Amino acid sequence: MSSSSCTTKYDVFISFRGEDTRETFTAHLSKALENKTIRAYVDDRLPRGEEIWPTLEEAIESSLMSIVIFSENYATSKWCLEELVKIIQWREDHGQVVIPVFYRTEPSHIRYQRGSFEKAFAKHERDFAESESNREKIRKWRKALKKSADICGWHSKNYA
């Protein structure tokens, strides 16, 4: 556990696939939170030249809750999947509240890695499943997706 786990810097950590939602849903959510004076961490705040993973890990650990915006291409991003593993681990170990948002995707696609999630994992397995450590990483990603899809969340089709 890092020292950041003792301090709260953000109310919310937002995990999202930039190409899917950065300029749309995530931008609106971030602005709405800001208008309510809720401190949200969005990865566009990463200082240039800084190590990415330690900064993301610290932001997750120093947030009261995480919102995970699952979109069609979420699983194509290794960074998103790494964030998700950390978020689920932090939820289990420290009780962080996690709210999944199913943005134009179905929870069952995430839970069972179907549709675009199945395609993304087929590519991950082709690209880097040659070592046992990478196969273990893929297993962790799959497990985190299943666990997060089992959490009661918000589905965009309910508000379309």
- Could you read off the pLDDT of 16-42 as tens digits, one per residue? 999 999 999 999 999 999 999 999 999
Decide if 104 contacts 156 (C-beta within 8 A): yes
Q: What is the dihedral of CA 104, 157, 115, 132, to 10 degrees?
A: 70
Whether residue 1 is predicted with pLDDT greater than 50 in this model: the reply is no
**In the block, residue with structure tokens 């979109």:** 71
Residue 69's domain spans which residues? Answer: 7-159
Give 97's strand partners.
Answer: 65
> Where residue 45 falls among pLDDT bands split at 50, 70, 90?
low
The answer to the question of residue 28 being in a domain is: yes
- Quote the number of domains for the chain: 1
Q: What is the pLDDT, as a whole number, of residue 4?
A: 41
The answer to the question of residue 22 being in a domain is: yes
Q: Where are the strands (E) in 40-123, listed by range? A: 40-41, 63-70, 97-102
The answer to the question of residue 53 being in a domain is: yes
How many whole angstroms separate alpha carbon 104 and alpha carbon 106? Answer: 7
- Residue 155 Ramachandran class (φ > 0 left, ψ -120 to 50 alpha, else beta): beta
* Active site residue ranges: 83
> Where residue 3 falls among pLDDT bands split at 50, 70, 90?
very low
The answer to the question of residue 139 being in a domain is: yes
Q: What is the pLDDT, as a whole number, of residue 2?
A: 44
The answer to the question of residue 79 being in a domain is: yes
Residues in the chain: 160
CATH code of the domain in which 87 resides? 3.40.50.10140
157 C-beta neighbours (distance < 10 Å), count: 10
- Which tens digit of pLDDT belongs to each residue from 84-108? 999 999 999 999 999 999 999 999 9
pTM over 0.75: yes
Q: What does residue 71 show for φ and ψ, rounded to 5 degrees?
A: -130, 175
